Amino acid sequence: MLFQSSPLTNNPAPLPLPKQSSQTHCPKLNSSLPVANEDKPILLLWFWPENYYFDFSDCKTFYGIDGCELTDKRSLYSSADAVLLFHKAISWDLSNLPPSPRPPFQKWIWFNVESPTNTQKKPGLENLFNLTLSYREDSDIPVRLRLTTNKKAEDFEIPKKEKLVCWIVSNNIPHTGVSARNRYFHDLNKHVYVHVYGKAYGKFLDYKDYYSTIASCKFYLSFENSLHKDYITEKLNGPLAVGTVPVVMGPPRKNYEKFVPGGAFIHVDDFPDAKSLAEYLKQLNTDDDAYHRFFNWRKHLSARPHLIQQNQEFILAICTACDHVGRHKEYREAHDIYEWFFN
């Protein structure tokens, strides 16, 4: 799913070399962490999203978040201040939800970083939650890595470029959004060569090579798998962070400009067809001054990459929830989450 939500943007520490996906984190590591801290609320992670485990200490290490006691111990349910429930893991008959009655002081958080296209409407969940956690800006807890402001102008050195256009893609399952981006890619590839990596086209790219590959390209296809308001993922943030111009396909340009300067990216909607876009990219390849203007924003703004791990958006989401629970004690109810999310 990734820009940084506002509590996370104050003087972010540089990211150390992240763990690679080959390293499996055992949930016992997290269960052994202390949870009885009177100064911090307890946030109970009811499901590990996609059965992907990470060290809860990563919240502090990578994002500077230490405002709650994160735990996966279900035995602490009755004393947990909030419970984080991953939508995709909830069974259709709701039989794997926490037990009733719910402690009256406890908040349930609906956790979903997928778009409506990729979200199943499971009946009976509409009015169970206090808070929503998603990519949507109007969520109670929006999840996004954001650009940060530099008070002093800084020089940015554009990395050496070896390729013109690149794309890393792992999913080409034919639903509406994926089919649209695949059609556009094939059209574009007729007029300008695109270096393609990822499982969708049989060229697996190791996670440790992810950002260096993007940095080696002048342009990167930041094509979302579905088109929805605010559904702008790490596909945009990655190239911005490493010094590559993203070519975006997703919600309208105005939606992107809520999060990044308009001069930092190219939108496919700015061109009548893929051939016109290809001609523009080839033109920029011969005009260094015009290409360098796409990085003027780097004088006063900075971008940071996600952790280079599989399902890295889950880490940011869970840590963001921890930050919110630690800062907000007020009572909330989220009424009919489906009416809100699917409309």
| Size of the chain in residues | 343
The dihedral of CA 267, 271, 272, 277: what is its sign? negative
304 pLDDT band (50/70/90 cuts)? confident
Read off φ and ψ for residue 216, nearest 5 degrees.
Answer: -80, 0
DSSP state of 3: B
Distance CA 293, CA 308 (A): 28
Same-domain check for residues 49 and 28: yes
The CA-based angle 198-204-209, given to 5 degrees, is 90
> Average model confidence (pLDDT) for the chain?
87
Write the DSSP assignment of 108-152 as a string of letters.
Answer: EEEE--S-GGG----TT-TTS-SEEEES-TTSSEE--B--EE-SS
Helix (H/G/I), strand (E/B), else coil: 311? coil
Same-domain check for residues 159 and 186: yes
Residue 213 lies inside a defined structural domain of this protein: yes
- What residues are annotated to the active site? 114
Q: Which of 63, 56, 110, 101 is nearest to 82 (CA)?
A: 110
Which tens digit of pLDDT belongs to each residue from 135-148?
Answer: 999 999 999 989 99
Q: Which of 238, 214, 212 is nearest to 224 (CA)?
A: 238
Same-domain check for residues 113 and 156: no
Distance CA 1, CA 19 (A): 18
pTM for this entry: 0.83
pLDDT for res 37: 54
Residue 17 lies inside a defined structural domain of this protein: yes
Q: Which of 21, 15, 13 is nearest to 210 (CA)?
A: 21
Same-domain check for residues 65 and 118: yes
**Total structural domains within the chain:** 2
Which tens digit of pLDDT belongs to each residue from 24-70?
Answer: 333 333 433 444 455 899 999 999 999 889 999 999 998 999 999 99
Q: Which residue range forms the structural domain that includes residue 82?
A: 6-145+308-342
Same-domain check for residues 170 and 194: yes
Structure tokens at 220: 């990167």
Same-domain check for residues 114 and 198: no
Residue 1 lies inside a defined structural domain of this protein: no
Residue 91 lies inside a defined structural domain of this protein: yes
Radius of gyration of the chain (CA): 21
307 pLDDT band (50/70/90 cuts)? low
